[in-house]
């Protein structure tokens, strides 16, 4: 049965109008204020003829205004393509074209980037936006849980990025699953320093509306400010990746966080033992999670009491969720053995935008084939061994080697290319490239220049290794594990 | 989209096997133990050839064993008719026949009652049950949220009781809606002294599985034991009706409950001011709720901070829920004006068993017509003025005047009958009857004897008034409000 429920923000403004909803750079907005803001922004959508069911793209940084516009689009029933603001104009152009977005709303600071977009789309900067007249617009009274509200692009093993469709229901269930796991306290406040264009940040906004919980939003991650605001606002929960957690701990020095702080929700791969021990030492509860854009954030979580004992585990699937580990014939594998991780649950995407082929291939019988490799131990705890397509996670950003390899291979002087992640103290991982030359004169500089033109900065290889041949199996599949062995032999010290 | 999720109890036993699930008469069962118990009980269902999709009826009191059997039935996908153990054999016979239950599982203590049941059904007492061999049985791996799991009978304005069908999804959403409102703390423990055959008690069991929360179950309400166990187990939440709350307060005397106690969830009509003031005085937070079997428990709730200021209100619809007030043409009525209360939300029943006519009449466009009369104040707080069909709530039990009137009218010496609730110090309300005789010799004793034969004890009129005529409108509809005025003129002192 298709479930509907009341417009979240409107309902929240009705239930707890005076509760704090958003705190950004010293300004506090109640749910009533956020709703009024978002409603007046929704009324501007009329001025640019954006209508229910149509698609808009947004290019924003973490700002209060960005939140209001995201909420306005959600309330108006506009599908929203949330763009990663670190992408190049070329990458953005591709996603805009693929999504068939009608309008691009962007923050004026991204003027230069937008001016270079090579796709014919109506652009409206935040400066122009503020000048728009409000027209009457109908905000949704109810959300249909089966309807798509957001689209976020992810890359994959091969080919172009794909738009992951997230429904109202996906976000709803994700927020509920998280609450059933972490609990829900009257005084919860969630600190968001991760990008709201990623599901990690966007899901915090959804929880805010659904729980009636304030979000303390930072425009970027700065450990000093993090500690300051955790203390000032009595923050109880924060979403982090290892590198952020390490920096917070370093900044804390011999001090501690307030006792009211109750959860570091850690994504982007398992934390190393010394980091977990340091957290234990400071009474900072770390909840390690496994999730992805396709699962609308957290899918499995490890409770802090297991963090040392089950080192490297991402815990168990949240209450509404299920995990299977299968072999290449899609047969379940006994506990302890490695295989592909399949996930199922009401927070799993309904599919990829305009890609019924990929959707049918990846989601079978409601089970999403993640491409990630892992196993379940004897008590059912999940261990993720390899992220899908040898995903590199650098400072919380997902980097797909295949995408970088594609750019490198487009150079006429390159006959083969392989990219892997090298461990890095600051970013956790950084991409490095192995190159087989066809033109002996090709230089590292030339390759880097090409990458800079095509790829967001965080995706640029930090080092190039020129080799005779790349390790490939009989089916010519690149053996990235072999490359990692080579790298280890090199000292695994790139970027240190 | 039809959502499925993992078998709740199995999932819970996987996620938090060693957490306390059920405490009854000094025995504590973890989720793993409850799951194992329920699984072995499910295996007994094979022995009596009860299969997935079939219907069983249960007649139990609040016991640990009752919980295990209810869970077994739920896990096995057996639709369960949960019978009110206060009903007479005649009332039970009717519900068994109507539900077409294949088997009646009952607690041996109800032997006499069951032996008088006038419906041909296989009966299995708890004594017989304990002797049954376990057969292999498949418990459900997943619950389909659209599937019916429980059926509870309610009466109404006219006609026979109707079986309210509750899906897995109804219970799921109800538990989630409650958590979003009350919060969810790691150390929550819910005290259940209300019958688990009512939605008020049964919904606590559902929350237990979904939240991973212990239930302290009492076989009946005893204020001494309530206070004792709140202290002993550090209970945080308890479901009550006014009369229970009053008795707890009286028993407490000058003492208080532990500070960890955080919620009295009060159903069955609003609490009077002196009671709320007494609770305020003792720092007992009272959450007044409006709900019914058809909404799978709580639908709207008033937060304690409003309890005095909004005296008599049931608060606002929980996050996934909506309320409308309409006139007899089903048109929305302005705030402040009285009308019928319509409710919509994912915890609202899909309808009445085998009664498509009543379902179509009561649920239109997903809005359930409650028959209750109320209004929304200027800020949207709900005030319930009259429960549907002048419902009488006596000690937490719903009593429908029409049902008692039907019995009285079946007596040849009665030409007209009207029943209303009189206020009562102990039970909050008790039924009283107004009778127009056709046979001048008919006695109160004769009428009471008839009622005793046909009706559960709590439904028996506490007083009979013999009158010349009953107040009816032009359409011959009984004007129960007029009867209440008569009663007030009599001193409104019945039962004191």
* Same-domain check for residues A38 and A72: yes
Residue A472: is its pLDDT beyond 90? no
At residue B1, the pLDDT reads 66
At residue A434, the pLDDT reads 94
Residue B494: is its pLDDT beyond 50? no
Provide the number of CB pairs (under 8 Å) joining chain A to chain B.
77
Chain A residues within 8 A of B186 when measuring between CB atoms: 183
In chain B, residues 252-281 whose CB comes closer than 8 Å to chain A: none
Chain B residues within 8 A of A185 when measuring between CB atoms: 183, 185
In this structure, the dihedral spanned by the alpha carbons of residues B253, B254, B258 and B263, taken in order and rounded to 10 degrees, is 60
Q: Which two tokens stand for residue A482?
A: 């072999």
Q: Is residue B278 a part of any domain in this protein? A: yes
* Same-domain check for residues B317 and B416: no
CA geometry: angle A425, A427, A433, nearest 5 deg: 95
Residue A493: is its pLDDT beyond 60? no
Q: Is the pLDDT higher at B460 or at A473?
A: B460
DSSP H helical ranges for A321-400: 356-362
Instruction: Say how many C-beta atoms besides its own lie within 10 A of residue B278's C-beta.
Output: 18
Q: Residue length, chain A?
A: 496
* A320 vs B: CB within 8 A: yes
- Tens digits of residue pLDDT in A362-401: 999 999 999 888 899 999 999 987 666 577 888 888 788 8
Q: Lowest mean pLDDT: which of A12-21, A340-349, B468-477? A: B468-477
Chain B residues within 8 A of A320 when measuring between CB atoms: 5-6
Rounded to whole angstroms, the Cα distance separating B433 from B463 reads 6
Q: Is residue B419 a part of any domain in this protein? A: yes
Checking phi first, is residue B354 left (phi over 0); if not, alpha (psi -120 to 50) or beta? Answer: left
Q: Is residue A303 a part of any domain in this protein? A: yes
Q: Which two tokens stand for residue A44?
A: 């501007």
Q: Lowest mean pLDDT: which of B41-45, B103-107, B272-276? A: B272-276
Long-range CB contact pairs, B404-409, < 8 A, 24+: B404/B431, B404/B433, B404/B451, B404/B455, B404/B459, B404/B461, B405/B433, B405/B478, B407/B450, B407/B451, B407/B454, B407/B455, B408/B433, B408/B435, B408/B447, B408/B450, B408/B451
Looking at B376, B411, B434, the residue that finishes a domain is B376
Q: Is residue A57 a part of any domain in this protein? A: yes
* Same-domain check for residues A154 and A222: yes
At residue B493, the pLDDT reads 42
- Cα separations in angstroms, B236 against B191, B203, B205, B260, B441: 8, 16, 15, 6, 56
- Tens digits of residue pLDDT in A142-192: 999 999 999 999 876 556 789 999 999 999 999 999 999 999 999 999 999
At residue A495, the pLDDT reads 36
Q: Which two tokens stand for residue B355?
A: 């009664």
Mean pLDDT of B314-341: 93
CA terminus-to-terminus distance, chain B:
54
Q: Is the pLDDT higher at B385 or at A260?
A: A260
Q: Is residue B123 a part of any domain in this protein? A: yes
* Same-domain check for residues B307 and B414: no
Q: Is residue A79 a part of any domain in this protein? A: yes
Residue A417: is its pLDDT beyond 60? yes
Residue A490: is its pLDDT beyond 80? no
In this structure, the dihedral spanned by the alpha carbons of residues A205, A207, A208 and A212, taken in order and rounded to 10 degrees, is 160
B315: distance to nearest CA of chain A, Å? 9
Mean pLDDT of B250-273: 91
At residue A371, the pLDDT reads 87
Q: Lowest mean pLDDT: which of A119-128, A342-351, A412-421? A: A412-421
- Residue B375's nearest CA partner among B318, B312, B320 is B312
A144: nearest CA in chain B? B1
- Residue A71's nearest CA partner among A164, A155, A146, A140 is A140
B409: distance to nearest CA of chain A, Å? 43
Number of structural domains found in chain A: 2
pLDDT category of residue B492 using cuts at 50, 70 and 90: very low
At residue A398, the pLDDT reads 79
* A305 vs B: CB within 8 A: no
Q: Is residue B259 a part of any domain in this protein? A: yes
A188: nearest CA in chain B? B183
Looking at B318, B350, B376, the residue that finishes a domain is B376
Residue B367: is its pLDDT beyond 90? yes
In chain A, residues 405-464 whose CB comes closer than 8 Å to chain B: none
CA geometry: angle A113, A116, A121, nearest 5 deg: 100
Rounded to whole angstroms, the Cα distance separating A167 from A171 reads 7
* Same-domain check for residues A367 and A458: no
Mean pLDDT of B139-147: 97
At residue A372, the pLDDT reads 87
- Tens digits of residue pLDDT in B385-433: 766 657 788 888 878 887 888 889 888 898 888 999 998 888 888 999 9
Chain A residues within 8 A of B382 when measuring between CB atoms: none
Mean pLDDT of A425-445: 90
| CATH for B36 | 3.40.50.12780
Place of tokens 């194992």: B36
A129: distance to nearest CA of chain B, Å? 32
- Tens digits of residue pLDDT in B156-169: 655 678 999 999 99
Report residue B330: phi and psi, to 5°.
65, 25
B104: distance to nearest CA of chain A, Å? 31
* Same-domain check for residues A356 and A442: no
Residue B496: is its pLDDT beyond 60? no
B303: nearest CA in chain A? A15
* A332 vs B: CB within 8 A: no
pLDDT category of residue A274 using cuts at 50, 70 and 90: confident
- Residue A438's nearest CA partner among A460, A463, A470, A461 is A470
* A3 vs B: CB within 8 A: yes
Q: Lowest mean pLDDT: which of A249-253, A340-344, B305-309? A: B305-309
At residue B412, the pLDDT reads 86
B108: distance to nearest CA of chain A, Å? 36
* Same-domain check for residues A179 and A295: yes
At residue B390, the pLDDT reads 75
Rounded to whole angstroms, the Cα distance separating B392 from B295 reads 18
* Same-domain check for residues A150 and A272: yes
- Report the half-sphere exposure of A473 (CA within 13 A, side-chain side): 7
Rounded to whole angstroms, the Cα distance separating A257 from A223 reads 12
Q: Which residues contact residue B374 at a Cβ distance below 8 angstroms, ignoring those fewer than 6 apart?
A: B325, B338, B339, B341, B382, B383, B384, B385, B386
Q: What is the mean pLDDT of chain A?
A: 91
Rounded to whole angstroms, the Cα distance separating A104 from B95 reads 61
Chain B residues within 8 A of A145 when measuring between CB atoms: 1
* Same-domain check for residues A332 and A465: no
Mean pLDDT of A444-466: 92
Query: Which residue of B4, B5, B304 to mutate against A (max A Cβ within 10 Å)?
Result: B5
Q: CB-CB: which of A4, A211, A366 is closest to B180?
A: A211
| CATH for B405 | 3.30.300.30
Mean pLDDT of B363-387: 90
Q: Is residue A383 a part of any domain in this protein? A: no
At residue B475, the pLDDT reads 56
At residue A409, the pLDDT reads 84
Contact A184 B180 (CB under 8 A): yes
At residue A387, the pLDDT reads 65
Percent of all residues in chain A with a pLDDT value above 90, rounded to a whole number: 71
In this structure, the dihedral spanned by the alpha carbons of residues B275, B278, B279 and B282, taken in order and rounded to 10 degrees, is -160
The three state secondary structure string of chain B is CCCEEECHHHHHHHHCCCCEEEEECCEEEEHHHHHHHHHHHHHHHHHHCCCCCCEEEEECCCCHHHHHHHHHHHHHCCEEEECCCCCCHHHHHHHHHHHCCCEEEECHHHHHHHHCCCCCCEEEEHHHHHHCCCCCCCCCCEEECCCEEEEEEECCCCCCCEEEEEEHHHHHHHHHHHHHHHCECCCCCEEECCCCCCHHHHHHHHHHHHHCCCEEECCCCCHHHHHHHHHHHCCCEEEEEHHHHHHHHHHHCCCCCCCCCCEEEEECCCCCHHHHHHHHHCCCCEEEEEEEHHHCEEEEEECHHHCCCCCCEEEEECCCCEEEEECCCCCECCCCCCEEEEEECCCCCCEECCCHHHHHHHEECCEEEEEEEEEECCCCCEEEEECHHHCEEECCEEECHHHHHHHHHCCCCEEEEEEEEEEECCCEEEEEEEEEECCCCCCHHHHHHHHHHHCCHHHCCCEEEECCCCCECCCCCECHHHHHHHHHHCCCCCCC
Q: What is the mean pLDDT of chain B?
A: 91
At residue A381, the pLDDT reads 95
Q: Which residues contact residue A327 at a Cβ distance below 8 angstroms, ignoring those fewer than 6 apart?
A: A333, A339, A340
* Same-domain check for residues A273 and A167: yes
Residue B50 · residue B56 · CB < 8 Å: yes
* Same-domain check for residues A136 and A282: yes
B190: distance to nearest CA of chain A, Å? 15
* B15 vs A: CB within 8 A: yes
* A5 vs B: CB within 8 A: yes
Q: Lowest mean pLDDT: which of A105-109, A245-249, B55-59, B270-274? A: B270-274
Q: Lowest mean pLDDT: which of B65-79, B146-160, B161-175? A: B146-160
Q: Is the pLDDT higher at A230 or at A390?
A: A230
Rounded to whole angstroms, the Cα distance separating A272 from A279 reads 11
At residue A126, the pLDDT reads 96
- Residue B152's nearest CA partner among B110, B195, B109, B116 is B195
Range(s) of the domain holding residue A423: 391-489
Residue A186 · residue A74 · CB < 8 Å: no
At residue A44, the pLDDT reads 93
Rounded to whole angstroms, the Cα distance separating B58 from B69 reads 9
Percent of all residues in chain B with a pLDDT value above 70, rounded to a whole number: 96
Residue B477: is its pLDDT beyond 70? no
If DSSP codes are grouped into helix, strand and coil, which group holds residue A425?
coil
* Same-domain check for residues B349 and B441: no
B403: distance to nearest CA of chain A, Å? 34
Rounded to whole angstroms, the Cα distance separating A104 from A121 reads 7
């Amino acid at each position: 049965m298709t479930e509907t429920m009341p417009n979240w923000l409107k309902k929240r403004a009705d239930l707890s109008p005076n509760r704090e909803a958003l705190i950004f750079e010293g300004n506090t907005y109640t749910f009533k204020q956020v709703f009024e803001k978002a409603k007046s922004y929704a009324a501007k959508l009329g001025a640019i003829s954006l209508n229910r069911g149509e698609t808009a793209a947004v290019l924003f940084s973490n700002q209060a205004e960005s939140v209001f516009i995201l909420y306005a689009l959600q309330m108006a029933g506009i599908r929203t393509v949330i763009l990663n603001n670190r992408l190049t104009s070329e990458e953005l152009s591709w996603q805009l074209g693929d999504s068939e977005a009608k309008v691009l709303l962007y923050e004026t600071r991204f003027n230069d980037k937008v001016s270079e977009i090579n796709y014919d789309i109506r652009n409206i900067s935040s400066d122009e936006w503020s000048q728009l007249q409000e027209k009457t617009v109908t905000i949704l009274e109810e959300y249909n849980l089966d309807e798509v509200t957001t689209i976020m692009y992810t890359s994959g093993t091969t080919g172009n990025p794909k738009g992951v469709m997230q429904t109202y229901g996906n976000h709803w269930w994700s927020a509920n699953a998280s609450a059933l796991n972490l609990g829900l306290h009257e005084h919860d406040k969630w600190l968001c320093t991760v990008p709201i264009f990623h599901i990690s940040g966007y899901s915090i906004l959804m929880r805010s509306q659904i729980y009636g919980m304030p979000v303390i939003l930072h425009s970027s991650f700065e450990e000093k400010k993090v500690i300051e605001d955790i203390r000032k606002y009595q923050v109880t929960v924060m979403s982090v990746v290892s590198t952020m957690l390490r920096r917070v701990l370093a900044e804390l020095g011999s001090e501690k966080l307030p006792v009211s702080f109750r959860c570091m929700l850690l994504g982007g791969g398992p934390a190393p033992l010394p980091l977990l021990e340091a957290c234990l030492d400071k009474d900072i509860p770390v909840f390690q999670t496994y999730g992805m854009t396709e699962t609308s954030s957290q899918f499995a979580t490890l409770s802090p009491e297991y963090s040392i004992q089950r080192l490297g585990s991402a815990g168990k699937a949240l209450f509404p969720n299920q995990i299977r580990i299968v072999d290449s014939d899609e047969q379940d594998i006994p506990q302890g053995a490695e295989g592909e991780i399949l996930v199922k649950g009401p927070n799993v995407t309904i599919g990829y935008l305009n890609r019924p082929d990929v959707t049918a291939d990846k989601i079978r019988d409601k089970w999403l084939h993640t491409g990630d490799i892992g196993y379940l131990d004897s008590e059912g705890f999940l261990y993720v061994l390899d992220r899908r397509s040898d995903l590199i996670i650098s400072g919380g950003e997902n980097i797909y080697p295949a995408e970088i390899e594609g750019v490198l291979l487009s150079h006429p002087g390159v006959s083969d290319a392989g990219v892997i992640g090298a461990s890095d103290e600051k970013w956790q991982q950084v991409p490095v490239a192995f190159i087989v030359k066809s033109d002996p004169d090709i230089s590292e500089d030339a390759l880097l220049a090409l990458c800079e033109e095509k790829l967001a900065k965080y995706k640029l290889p930090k080092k190039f290794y020129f080799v005779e041949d790349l390790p490939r199996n009989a089916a010519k599949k690149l053996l990235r594990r072999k490359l990692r062995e080579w790298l280890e032999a090199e000292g695994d010290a790139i970027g240190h």
